[in-house]
């Protein structure tokens, strides 16, 4: 029996699905808030591009260190308690932002980010299986797509909330040298929003713990561990190359979503905090296009190929484009009452369209033919999220090393998209290393 559900529970999965949907929204909100937080802290703490990239690194590196321990915790306490515990850790992270803002110590912000990433990893590890197992197997793909839209939809809203609550009060301070009084005011403005978010997440943790959410049956430890299973899984090239493809995908996804604000700040854009919303809107559109077209009109490998090619073209456009050109804005935004933004900035946002269907396209290709090793392969694919730590880090290093500055940093995306293109055309077809 896969779930401890009785016939009464099966007749009504509306409440459990609503809870899971809410948790996916929270995960997206906390994740994509980084796109606004990163340039804001760069402005307050006067960080270099490399230092600013550590804000993302400390958040996403938590996946590398806590993914397997999270699975162990869930085996011990159960999925439902694991969710509540993950949210409790996220609440602690929100509270850590208070002393960080008061002292303006960069290391405390990094610690808060690391703790937030740890809580998110535990929550994700617990909540993702519900999407597949809480309803009919034949409709699982539709549920995954809906949860993805909710996650990215939260990425549209989070920067807007951050801008409305915090950034709008200081929009006149872009591009000027700040006094210590101004820095203190901007830092202190983080206290109440993060305190409110922490208390809200803590309240939700209690609700989840007491909710009618059914407990999933725990898997046997032997099916979830063992170096032999990992080695056997990695002996399948389509899986091993798929892990690398997802690593590079998450790298470019985070670069596009979370560095666009800091690039906008460097161009003197007052509403830099809301720029992540542009990327997320493009991702949501990409998700919808994927749902409508795959596999009805195009196959998953074809969709992945189109995504990689579009990513390569947009990256070249960012690197070679002029920050003084506004052709895209004049064509698409201004006629609809939108704002005037440079072409290079909007091409970073359009990367959301290129990135949207990479994750759902790579997973089935990577897990094809895995059989009993599917759960081990899935765990390895989740580890690819660590790309979100290293992509922005290399972007920061490259930005500091090139004459093009932040704009030149986006060249690190080219090899990422080239590998995704290789995987789409050939990598997923390789069945043996010999």
pLDDT digits over 162-203, tens only? 888 888 888 777 777 888 999 999 999 999 999 999 999 999
pLDDT at residue 142 in the model = 63
pLDDT at residue 100 in the model = 95
pLDDT at residue 297 in the model = 82
pLDDT at residue 394 in the model = 93
Mean pLDDT check: name the lowest of 184-193, 223-232, 364-373.
223-232
pLDDT at residue 28 in the model = 86
**Looking at residues 261-289, what average pLDDT do you find?**
88
Q: How confident is the model at residue 219 (pLDDT cuts 50, 70, 90)?
A: low
Mean pLDDT check: name the lowest of 70-84, 104-118, 126-140, 388-402.
126-140
Q: Is the pLDDT confidence value at 147 over 90? A: no
Minimal CA–CA distance to 21: which of 286, 213, 217?
213
pLDDT digits over 296-311, tens only? 788 888 889 999 999 9
Mean pLDDT check: name the lowest of 20-34, 137-151, 379-393.
137-151
pLDDT at residue 274 in the model = 87
pLDDT at residue 362 in the model = 86
Q: Is the pLDDT confidence value at 12 over 80? A: no
Q: Is the pLDDT confidence value at 284 over 90? A: no
Q: Is the pLDDT confidence value at 382 over 60? A: yes
Q: Return d(Cα 367, Cα 154) in angstroms, integer.
A: 28
Domain 12-212 and domain 227-434, same fold? Reply is yes
pLDDT at residue 331 in the model = 92
Q: Is the pLDDT confidence value at 418 over 60? A: yes
227-434 is classed CATH 1.20.1250.20: yes
Question: Contacts for 22-26 with beta carbons within 8 Å, 24 or more apart?
Answer: 22/204, 23/83, 23/123, 23/127, 23/208, 24/127, 24/147, 24/150, 24/151, 24/154, 25/150, 25/151, 25/153, 25/154, 26/87, 26/123, 26/154, 26/201, 26/204
pLDDT at residue 76 in the model = 83
Q: How confident is the model at residue 7 (pLDDT cuts 50, 70, 90)?
A: very low
Structural domain spans, the chain: 12-212, 227-434
The per-residue pLDDT of the chain, averaged, comes to 84
* ∠ Cα 429 225 67 (to 5°): 80
Q: Which of 62-66, 112-116, 174-178, 283-287 has the highest mean pLDDT?
A: 112-116
pLDDT at residue 224 in the model = 45
pLDDT at residue 135 in the model = 66
Cβ neighbour number for residue 292 with a 10 Å cutoff: 9
Q: Is the pLDDT confidence value at 333 over 80? A: yes
Percent pLDDT > 90 in the chain is: 37
| 79 contacts 126 by C-beta, under 8 angstroms | yes
* Half-sphere exposure of residue 229: CA atoms within 13 angstroms, side-chain side: 17
Q: Is the pLDDT confidence value at 31 over 60? A: yes
Q: Return d(Cα 408, Cα 405) in angstroms, integer.
A: 5
pLDDT at residue 36 in the model = 87
**Looking at residues 78-88, what average pLDDT do you find?**
89
Q: How confident is the model at residue 398 (pLDDT cuts 50, 70, 90)?
A: very high
Q: How confident is the model at residue 361 (pLDDT cuts 50, 70, 90)?
A: confident
Q: How confident is the model at residue 71 (pLDDT cuts 50, 70, 90)?
A: confident
CATH code reported for the domain at 12-212: 1.20.1250.20
Q: Is the pLDDT confidence value at 272 over 70? A: yes
């Amino acid at each position: 029996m896969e779930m401890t559900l009785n016939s009464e529970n099966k007749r009504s999965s509306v409440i459990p699905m609503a809870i899971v949907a809410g948790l996916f929204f929270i995960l997206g909100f906390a994740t994509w808030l980084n796109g606004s937080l990163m340039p804001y802290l760069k402005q307050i703490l006067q960080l270099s591009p490399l230092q600013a990239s550590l804000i993302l690194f400390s958040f996403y590196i938590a996946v590398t260190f806590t993914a397997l321990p999270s699975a162990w915790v869930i085996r011990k306490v159960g999925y439902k308690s694991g969710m509540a515990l993950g949210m409790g850790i996220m609440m602690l992270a929100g509270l850590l932002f208070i002393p960080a803002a008061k002292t303006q110590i960069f290391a405390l912000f990094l610690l808060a980010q690391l703790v937030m990433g740890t809580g998110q990893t535990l929550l994700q590890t617990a909540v993702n299986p519900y999407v597949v197992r809480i309803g009919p197997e034949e409709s699982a793909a539709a549920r995954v797509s809906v949860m993805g839209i909710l996650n990215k939809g939260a990425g549209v809203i989070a920067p807007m909330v951050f801008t409305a609550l915090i950034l709008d009060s200081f929009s006149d301070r872009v591009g000027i040298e700040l006094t210590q009084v101004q820095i203190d005011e901007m830092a202190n403005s983080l206290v109440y929003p993060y305190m409110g978010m922490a208390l809200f997440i803590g309240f939700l943790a209690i609700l989840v713990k007491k909710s009618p959410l059914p407990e999933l049956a725990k898997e046997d430890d032997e099916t979830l561990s063992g170096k032999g299973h990992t080695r056997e899984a990695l002996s399948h090239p389509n899986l091993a190359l798929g892990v690398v493809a997802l690593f590079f995908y998450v790298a470019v996804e985070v670069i596009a979503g979370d560095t666009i604000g800091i690039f906008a700040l460097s161009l003197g854009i007052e509403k830099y905090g809301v720029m992540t919303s542009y990327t997320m809107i493009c991702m949501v559109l990409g998700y919808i296009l994927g749902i409508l077209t795959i596999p009805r009109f195009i196959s998953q490998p074809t969709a992945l190929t189109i995504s990689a090619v579009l990513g390569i073209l947009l990256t070249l456009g960012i690197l070679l484009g002029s920050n003084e050109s506004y052709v895209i804005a004049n064509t698409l935004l201004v006629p609809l009452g939108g704002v005037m933004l440079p072409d290079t900035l909007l091409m970073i946002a359009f990367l959301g369209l290129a990135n949207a269907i990479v994750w759902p396209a790579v997973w089935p290709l990577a897990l094809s033919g895995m059989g009993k090793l599917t759960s081990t392969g899935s765990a390895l694919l989740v580890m690819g999220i660590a790309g979100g730590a290293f992509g922005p880090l290399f972007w920061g290093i490259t930005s500091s090393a090139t004459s093009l500055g932040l704009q030149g940093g986006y060249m690190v995306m080219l090899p990422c998209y080239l590998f995704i293109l290789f995987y789409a055309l050939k990598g997923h077809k390789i069945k043996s290393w010999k």
